[in-house]
Structures are given as structure tokens and as C-alpha cells.
Amino acid sequence: MKVLSPRDFARVIGVSESSVKRWIDDGTIPASRTVGGHRRIEREEAIRFIRRTRSPVLRPELLGLEDLRALAGKTASAPSSELHDALVDGRDAEARGLILSLYLGGRGVAAIGDGPVREALDRIGRLWLDREDGVFIEHRAVDICIQALTQLRLTFEPPEEAPLAIGAAVSGDPYLLPSMIASTVLQEVGFQTMNLGPETPIATLRHALSTHEPRLCWLSVSAVDDPKARAREIRDLASWLATRGVSGVLGGRSVDRLDLGPDILERADTMAELAAFARGLLGAS
Ligand code: B12
């Protein structure tokens, strides 16, 4: 599924094959040629074209995006509450399809993370107060969001020469999604990424940083077990990053519980801020 013929791409978006060939020939759709001279479109370029032109996806299976079928042609009019309902009911294909359709409709990963995903989970996080199955629903919802993000991630491939970003959530922080969304945002912006995930000791992160020498390090703090210890570690990490010229971005719902002092790493409250900061770094290089 890495490449599509003009005929298949034409079927995906419901236009004629000759239109697709014309767009390839005038450079509107980047494409390559087979040894035999046939035009071929990278799946990633096909998706980029769909996002840019807001084209419909009539044959999602030809792009490997079967989950869009679960939406049965519905377009998201109130994405946060539709995602919330699909997650609560465990309609996983529909939830994944919804996130995918938001992305194909032109929203960036940051906007999806800061918007529908965060909002849906915020409501789901209150279910345990009055529903016996609240915690079960919450855990399942997180798993479905992970599936959706993994699927999104597969629609873009940062170039091999792209700079590297490494990040994690700190020790005592079990939250999976914030660091995973940060990683996906950075991939979309054009970084290669290494997400070390939740409960990552700073020493482990440092090991990864010194071995792989990234351009950017992100750190997520959604829960704090030992505020003094975490603050000390993060301050040390910030000095260490500064001496090596690595940019650091710090975010997460519980950062304010840490007494970090001024000018400790770049602070960001949202994924949109992370994306903007990362774009700035890429633009500067
Ligand atoms: C899923 C979940 C869990 C799961 C996590 C599963 C997993 N492995 O990921 C588990 C079961 C572990 C859990 C446990 C607990 N949870 Co909980 N949990 C949630 C829930 C529903 C979703 C969290 C989530 O992933 N959100 C999605 C992310 C993307 O959103 P976000 O965290 O807001 O992050 C955004 C920004 O902060 C920012 N950001 C985050 N990180 C970074 C990093 C960078 C670099 C940048 C730039 C930005 C950034 O961008 C994100 C997108 O906008 C929240 C509800 C909520 N409001 O979020 C409750 C919630 C956080 N949990 C809560 C509670 C009470 C608990 C428990 C104490 C429950 C218990 N009695 O055991 C424990 C504590 C665990 C701990 N060690 O601290 C409360 C916290 C209340 C408070 N004020 O402190 C909440 C708010 C639910 C509620 N309303 O009661 N939880």
C-alpha cells in the first residue's frame, strides 16, 4: 500500500484517471515512475493531496484507511462529543475513523490532540464518579486513542535526514497519551522521534539523549509523585541540555506543581505551542 497507480487514486477521490495523470504531469501531485514508465503516487503524497484539497475519500480501503468506513459517510459536526460517545460505547473503528477524518479534513495532529481528544477524555475522566464501569471505559478509551494515533502516524513518514526529537513522561507519571501526542505532533512537523513513554527516569532519558544527540527534547508532566525530586532532576536536565545546545520543551497538566524557577526549558501548555516551537526550530536550521 506504499504506492498507488493513478487509476486507484482516481477511484479513491472520485475523479477520472486522466485528471490524476494531468495533475501528476503538471506537478500538482508529486509522483515517480516505474521502470516501465508508469506513474506511481506515494500513499503519503496521496494523503497530503486529499488534506490540501479537502477531497472526499470514497474508497478508503485503497489507501489502507478502512476505519473511515465505520463513519458510514458521516462528517464530524461536533467532533469532541462524537468522539466522546464513540469512546464511551467502545465503538473503536468509529473513533479511529473520526480522528482520521479530522486529519484528512485538514486538522493538524496538535489541533486534534488539544481539541477532541483532550475534551473527550476530560469528560470521560469524570465518569468514575457516578458509573461503576467508569474506570473500565476510561482505560478502553485511552487504548482506542492510542490505536488512532498510531494509525495517523502511519500516514506520514518524516525524511530520513530529518532532525531527531526525544521525549518522555517523567517517573511517577503513568500517562501515556500526552507524550505520544507530542511525538506524533513532532513527526507531523518533520522530526524523527523517539518516545520513551510514561514513567521514564531522567537518567534513562539522558542516556538516550547522549547516545542519539537529538535537536529537541520534550518532557511531559501529568502527575507528580515527588515534587522536590522531579524539580531537581528537571533543573539538572535543563542545564545539561543547554550545554549541549539541545532545545527542551516542557508541558503537561502538573508542571505547575513543580518549583522550577524561571527560564527552565521552553514551557508550553498545548500541543499547538509545541508544533509552533518545533516549526520555528526547523525554519531556523
Ligand atoms: C486516562 C486517565 C488516567 C489513566 C491513565 C492511563 C494511561 N496509562 O495513560 C490512569 C488510570 C492511570 C489514571 C490514574 C489516575 N487518575 Co487519571 N485521568 C485520566 C484522564 C481520563 C485522561 C488523561 C489523558 O490522557 N488526557 C489526554 C491528554 C492528551 O490531555 P492532557 O493531559 O490534558 O494534556 C494536554 C496538555 O496538558 C498538554 N500537554 C500534556 N503534556 C504535554 C507535554 C508537552 C511537551 C506539551 C507541549 C504539552 C503537553 O497537551 C495535551 C493536549 O492538549 C484524565 C481526565 C483529563 N481531564 O485529562 C484523568 C485525571 C487526570 N485523573 C485523575 C485522577 C484523580 C486519577 C487518579 C488519582 C485516580 C485514582 N483514584 O487512582 C489516578 C492517579 C494516577 C497518578 N499516578 O497520578 C483526575 C486528576 C484530578 C486532579 N486535579 O489532580 C483527572 C483530571 C480525572 C478527574 N476529572 O477526576 N488516570
- 50-56-57-58 Cα dihedral, nearest 10 degrees: -150
Query: How many angstroms separate the alpha carbon of residue 57 from the centre of ligand 1?
Result: 34
> Looking at the predicted structure, is the pLDDT value of residue 91 above 70?
yes
Domains of the chain: 3-62 (1.10.1660.10), 68-153 (1.10.1240), 164-284 (3.40.50.280)
Query: How many angstroms separate the alpha carbon of residue 254 from the centre of ligand 1?
Result: 9
Q: How many CB atoms lie within 10 A of CB 133?
A: 11
> pTM for the whole thing?
0.95
> Looking at the predicted structure, is the pLDDT value of residue 228 above 90?
yes
Q: Report residue 241's pLDDT band, with 50, 70 and 90 as the boundaries.
A: very high
Query: What percentage of the chain has pLDDT greater than the value 70?
Result: 99
Cα distances from 158 to residues 23, 102, 161, 224, 252, in angstroms, run 24, 20, 8, 33, 25
Instruction: Evaluate: CB of 266 within 6 angstroms of ligand 1.
Output: no
Residue nearest to atom 41 of ligand 1 (CA): 252
Atom in ligand 1 nearest the alpha carbon of residue 128:
90
Q: What is the pLDDT of residue 154?
A: 85
Q: What is the pLDDT of residue 132?
A: 87
67-79 confidence digits (pLDDT tens): 888 887 677 788 9
Give the mean pLDDT of 250-254.
97
- Say if strands 39-42 and 32-33 run parallel, antiparallel, or are unpaired: antiparallel
Query: How many angstroms separate the alpha carbon of residue 112 from the centre of ligand 1?
Result: 17
Residue nearest to atom 21 of ligand 1 (CA): 125
Instruction: Evaluate: CB of 274 within 6 angstroms of ligand 1.
Output: yes
Q: Report residue 234's pLDDT band, with 50, 70 and 90 as the boundaries.
A: very high
Least reliable range by pLDDT among 40-54, 66-80, 189-203, 224-238: 66-80
Q: What is the pLDDT of residue 285?
A: 63
Q: At what angle do helices 177-189 and 271-284 cross, to 10 degrees?
A: 30
Q: What is the pLDDT of residue 249?
A: 97
Query: How many angstroms separate the alpha carbon of residue 219 from the centre of ligand 1?
Result: 15
